[in-house]
Structure 1
Amino acid sequence: MYFFRISLIAVLSFASSLCYAQYASNTEYNHQELFGPINWPSPGESRTASGKPSERYWQNRADYQIRATLHEGSQDTTINGEVNITYTNNSPDELEYLWLQLDQNLFKPDSRGAASTPVTGDRFDVKGFNRGGVRIASVNITYKGQTYSLNPVITDARMQLRLNKALGAKGDKIQVKIEYNFSIPLYGADRMGRKKFNQGYVYEIAQWYPRMCVYDDVEGWNTLPYMGLGEFYCDYGDFDYYITAPGDMIVVGSGDLQNAAEVLTPLQLKRLNEARNSDKTVMLITEKEVGDKSTHLGKETLTWHFKMDNSRDVAWAASKAFIWDAASVNLPSGRKAIAMSAYPKESAGNDAWGRSTEYLKNSMEIYSKKYFEYPWNSAVNVSGVALGMEYPGIIFCLSNYKNGKLWGDVTHEIGHNWFPMIVGSNERKYMWQDEGFNTFINDYAAKEFNNGEYFSATELNAQSVLQQYKSSKDPLMTPPEAIGLNDYGQYYVKTALGLKMLRNVVLGADRFDYAFNQYIKNWAMKHPTPYDFFRAMNNAAGEDLNWFWKEWFFTTWKLDQAIEGVRYDDDDSTRGALITIVNKGKMAMPVDLRITLSNGRYENIQLPVNVWQRGSVWTFKFPSKLTIKSIVIDPNGELPDADLRNNEWKAN
């Protein structure tokens, strides 16, 4: 009996190996390469193996008080500022020095970003200008009751402060006071700058103060310089800031305006209060009122005071040309926020920025209900030079966008308030973790808004994404400054398509949504790495998805599923069909098939990815008593299959 059992296993194994060998020469697939061990960094003490912050998780904190003045000149407009930073070191390490980002140094003619910009330019077009860069007037440190000045060590877009005495660990605080100024670039790497309209410049002001680099539990000081494509990684804290501008300008910014009665007319105040309770857009400054003396208080300058708590950044905008409108935002808890838009006459119109606040309000409500409630009280969209850029509570969108383009820009940029403003990932290293996640939720918002007014089923079409990036040699885990300039779009759409496939093909909506929302909840206002996301999804969905993370984020492998053949058991169709499929590409995915029978009826079946765990060929029995007319792999076109010609089988 024992001898017979061993012999039977040997025969079955031999037959199986013959089947695999039959097709081995036609495939690139290697099951050991895909399903073999992974080499991820350990989560450490502060992060759990289940992808959550542990009880020992820590992150440092930076609170800012800023006073800045906008000086408008005929040739040059400058910002003069003073920032007071209270930095809290919650880490277990003493810090002998501090690092800060000087983002405006990107615009110095000799910056790294300018040096690495192609001669032909690119979207960010960082060439520098003769007054580019931030000028540091003074740096003062206050620690343990002692105040002293020091000379900073500036390297490109970073500044090191070498302390006289090390900053203590586990909650010790230090104050840093910096006086600075810079000239506003015309085109600030598509993220800030100034643009002239008939009634004045619109100034979109961001990366406008020296800010702390992040010291975290993963890499210590994160000091990658700002060079153009790679965006930002910031600690959280409270912001209290004052903007002094010419008295005929309107200033909008991140957070809550604290002194509305000091900077607005009584009529504007009345309209603003109406807007806080109105689902329809209320005009605060109409097109006819722009430039009218009665629209302003008649003072030479005004100081606008804003506060924003538990944020990772703030930005603002100012102009004489602003039309200004607003509407109420209804949040799931019953709390109300306000959505606003500020734009010049050139952007006005019901097919353009006249609907901006409607787009902004609805996006905020959709994302708050589906994912995580918007934690702040206001958001504003500004029309200007930036194609599209996001900051907590404020976004910049291109001035000439209309209809669907404007909707797409608004919902994408405000969507960034969830990724990475709430879920605070490191954009400078892992661009896909904010751009891709945001693109994924934008697709959902487009379906929801106004019965899908602007929804396009081709936006995240698998074949479109495949064709766009099929020749890319850079995987998604490539840092932004190292990826091909024609390939960084995959951070957006390849990531989003991957999440869409996980939801629709691998896990199903319920398991995916639960896991994804758990990730958002657990990492809100914290700093997740990609590996925290991978572990969070694995654990909350109850599925080992390491094969998917490996192929989709760490490689540029292609998928090619094929139907090899169909035969009937003992040549008798009433006894069922044996269907053989082959995985020819290096990627693997579950297999969806539509099997159409001779009577015209069809059945859809799904085989799990596990059928590819031992090799590239799989034969399964389909229990039918009729002959099969045709079989199609992936009938809904949800997978980026590289060769559709072998996805269909038809009976002779």
Structure 2
Amino acid sequence: MKQFTRTAVVLMLMSIFSYSGYAQEVIEDNQSDFGEFMDRSGNRFRSASGVPGEEYWQNEADYKIKATLDDENHRISGNVVLTYTNNSPQDLDFIWMHLEQNRFTPNSRGTLTTPISGNRYNGDVDGGYTISNLEAKVKRSTSSHYIISDTRMQVFFDKPVPANGGQATISMDFEYKIPEKGMDRMGRLDVEDGTIYAMAQWYPRAAVYDDVEGWNIEPYLGAGEFYLDYGNYDYEITAPYDHIVVGSGELQNPREVLSGTMRDRMDRASESDSAVFIVKPEEVKDMSLRAKNSGMLTWHFKMENTRDVAFASSKAFIWDAAKINLPGGKTAMAQSVYPQESAGREAWGRSTEYTKAAIENYSNMWYEFPYPVAVNVAAAVGGMEYPGLSFCGWQSEGESLWGVTDHEFGHNWFPMIVGTNERRYAWMDEGFNTFINHYSTQKFNNGEYASTLNQTRRMVGWFTSPSREGIDTYPDVTNLRNLGMTAYYKPAVGLLLLREYILGHERFDNAFRSYIETWAYKHPQPADFFNHMENVAGENLSWFWKGWFYGTGNIDIALEDVEEKDGNYIIELSNLGDMPMPVEMKLTYEDGSTEDLRLPVEIWQRGDTWSHLLETNKTLERVELDPDKIIPDINFSNDVWPKNIYKN
């Protein structure tokens, strides 16, 4: 550093003394609002720029499954062979697996933590796994030692699974009764022409071992969903000959399970932008369309680089399909299966149209759909998503059916492609998905249905409720009356504010697309998302993450007064809320002209008041904050000057 001269020292001292008289007027600054609120420093696994580190790793789980559906006794039985690859830097003496069907027992933790009054996550209590013939192999060693604890199973090895690429094979037989009420995620539905089986969480699944928590072994209680590794799936479903089976992934044996007529129709559907019937409504009971007239049929599916698979089976299915056009030039297939009770142009007759539009919208705006099919299944499930397949309410129609279809298929991006931990961070899949649903709905059929996400001021009642909870609240302990806001709407509004108000479309879209591409088929944590958005967008957003995502405070920016001074104007602003925000103003002049004025969020670093000098040779008639009403400011009565001419 350059040495101070005598003159410089004198001037500095004079400056200190001259301002000492104002020392008592110093206002405490708001720098704490702008500082880091969590440790987001990088390491060799996860970098500070929000990309995987040079030693990032995740394990792989590949499955071969053969299962048989017994529609007389509502049971499924089968065998699963898991090939587990340990890419971690630690040897593993055991692995944990999820047995989510054990939720449907009288003494499961989920059953015992369900309120007497019940909730959405009620389920049957006469189910649960029967596990047999387990073998866990590492090289030439074999173990049959395991412990089942509620919805988890710990499988031990005689020799550890070696680090950095070692493999183990775990095989077992399983059987259980298919629940009728599957916690609004899976189950069965009786309709006039048969039973619809919506099959999810239907096989023992490996838990995730990662660099953040080690084994992620939270029990399956209800609101918390899933966190799974990626792998390749090869699975076979043997069902009665008169059933139609649809599943995640690509059907491998159409000639064995589809008649020539059905295959011809499927070929036509693969080239059609409108739905083509594979099984028409009047053909549901026509067994001449089936590949066999008795016995059982085995449907064989494969899916690569996915975290899960689901399927549906019924003899009551109407079936239609259409082509999905993807931006890279490839195509996929949108399919829908539903019973007679759900048919009709105002109902499930438009399901394939909705599915196709949703997949195309998200592919064009964010990231290309990677799977060969997108299947919508009408079931006794309000709405639940799995890779390439969704269950939606069989009684939904019109705008309701569009909304649930668009939402569930949006989940293919979050968390199917971007593999977040839904058990802990529901907002990273439900909230992000609700956000992208907004733009898909705006685009569908030139706005046939309305999105309400941008009507943020209708949510003020919840934002000011004493019982509100934070976005970061653990989903299984969140008050169910708050879950819709904490997991879905508040995080979605947060992204809306970033795109429409704080960063703008170009900067936000660059960052959000980069986040999806960077973490596709990987396991990002909240800090990875925050870091990546900041680094690509070029903006320190700690104040926003802290206030909106990790707090329960509210926004209240006030326009206190406008004073004329020497032909110009001083605009007096206050931050009466709990978090800062940039300030957007619309200025209206006496001659009818208008001007937009934006002040950066940094005006609030020094305190809760700010004076802005507006230099103009015009007469100012009106000032309005947030003229497009994007931010959920909890008190819009102080958003306009003069106060007696407020206009909505």
- Shorter-chain TM range is over 0.9
In structure 2, relative to structure 1, the CA distance for the partners of 1:592 and 1:12 (3 Å cut) is farther
Counterpart-to-counterpart distance in 2, 1:103 and 1:496? 29
Alignment equivalent of 2:617, drawn from 622, 625, 628:
625
The one of 551, 554, 565 equivalent to 1:555 is 551
List per-residue Cα deviations over 1:325-348 (Å, max 9, x = no partner): 000111111111111000001010
User: Retained in 2: the 8 A contact 1:68–1:81?
Assistant: yes
- 1:10 offset after TM fit, Å? 6.9
Q: What is the aligned partner in structure 2 of residue 513 from structure 1?
A: 509
> 5+ unaligned residues in a row in structure 2: which ranges?
1-6
* CA shift in 2, pair 1:504/1:459, >3 Å: closer
Compared CA separation, residues 15 and 408, structure 1 to 2 (3 A): farther
Alignment check: 8 A CA contact 1:332 1:368 kept: yes
- How far is 1:378 from its partner? 0.9
C-alpha separation in 2, matches of 1:461 and 1:197: 39
Corresponding residue SS for 2:412? coil
1:469–1:487 CA contact under 8 A, matched in 2: no
Partner of 1:213: 207
Aligned equivalents of 2:88 and 2:461: distance in 1?
A: 46
How much has 1:32 moved relative to structure 2? 3.3
**1:331–1:10 CA distance, 2 compared to 1 (3 A):** farther
How far 1:362 moved relative to its partner? 1.2
The answer as to 2:354 corresponding to 1:359 is yes
SS at match of 2:413: coil
Worse-matched range after superposition: 270-279 or 3-12: 3-12
What is residue 56 of structure 1 aligned with on the other side? Answer: 55
TM-score (norm 1): 0.94
Q: Of 156, 180, 183, which residue of structure 2 is paired with 1:186?
A: 180
Aligned counterparts of 1:253 and 1:382: Cα–Cα separation in 2: 10
Specify which of 324, 336, 350 is matched with residue 329 of structure 1.
324
- 1:115 pairs with 2:112: yes
Contact preservation (8 Å) 1:285, 1:323:
yes
Contact 1:465–1:493 (CA under 8 A) maintained in structure 2: no
Distance 1:13 1:211 in 2: 68
CA distance in 1, matches of 2:427, 2:366: 18
**Residue identity opposite 1:81 in structure 2:** G
CA–CA separation in structure 2 for the residues paired with 1:7 and 1:202: 85
Q: Where does residue 291 of structure 1 map in the other structure? A: 285
Change (3 A) 1:609 1:72: same
1:80 to 77, 84, 98: 77
Query: Does the alignment pair 1:281 with 2:269?
Result: no
Q: CA–CA distance in 2 between the matches of 1:125 and 1:238?
A: 32
Q: Percent identity?
A: 47
Is residue 2:249 matched to residue 1:249? no
Counterpart in the other structure of 1:431 = 426
Aligned-residue offset at 1:597: 2.3
User: 1:17–1:428: structure 2 CA closer, same or farther, 3 Å change rule?
Assistant: farther
- Specify the alignment match of 1:537 in structure 2: 533
Alpha-carbon separation, structure 2, partners of 1:403 and 1:339: 18
Aligned ranges 1:304-319 → 2 under 5 Å: 304-319=299-314
Structure 1: stretches of 5+ with no match in the other structure: 25-29
Q: Tell me whether 1:138 sits opposite 2:139 in the alignment.
A: no
What do the CA deviations read for 1:408-451 (whole angstroms, capped 9, x no partner)?
11111011000000000000000000001111111111111111
| Counterpart in the other structure of 2:4 | none
Q: CA deviation at 1:505?
A: 1.0
Within the alignment, does 1:400 sit opposite 2:392 as a pair?
Answer: no
1:596 maps to a residue whose letter is T
What is the alpha-carbon distance in structure 1 between the residues aligned to residue 177 and residue 501 of structure 2? 51
Q: 1 CA distance for matches of 2:454 and 2:594? A: 27
Distance 1:624 1:7, change over 3 A: farther
CA RMSD of aligned residues (A): 1.8
The match for 1:33 is 32
- For the 8 Å contact 1:104–1:157, the answer to whether it is kept is yes
C-alpha distance in 1 between matches for 2:22 and 2:445: 58
Residue 604 (str. 1) matches residue 596 (str. 2): yes
Deviation string 1:480-505 (CA, Å, 9 cap, x unpaired) is 01211111112111111100101111
Q: 2: distance between equivalents of 1:210 and 1:524?
A: 24
Superposed, 1:137-536 pairs within 5 Å as 137-150=132-145, 152-296=146-290, 297-456=292-451, 458-471=452-465, 472-490=467-485, 491-536=487-532
Q: What do the CA deviations read for 1:351-395 (whole angstroms, capped 9, x no partner)? A: 111110011111111111111111111110000101000000100
Tell me the SS of whatever aligns to 1:277: coil
State whether residues 136 and 155 of structure 2, in contact with CA within 8 Å, keep that contact through their aligned partners in structure 1. Answer: no
**1:473–1:11 CA distance, 2 compared to 1 (3 A):** farther
TM-score, normalised by the number of residues in structure 2? 0.95
Name 1:595's counterpart in structure 2: 587
Amino acid at match of 1:71: D
Deviations 1:270-313 (A, max 9, x none): 10111111111100000000012212221311010000011000
- Judging changes above 3 Å, is the alpha-carbon distance between structure 1 residues 469 and 386 closer, same or farther for their aligned structure 2 residues? farther
TM-superposition CA deviations, 1:521-557 (whole Å, max 9, x none): 1000000001000000000000001111111111000
Shift of 1:651: 7.4
Residue 14 of structure 1: how far off its partner (Å):
6.7
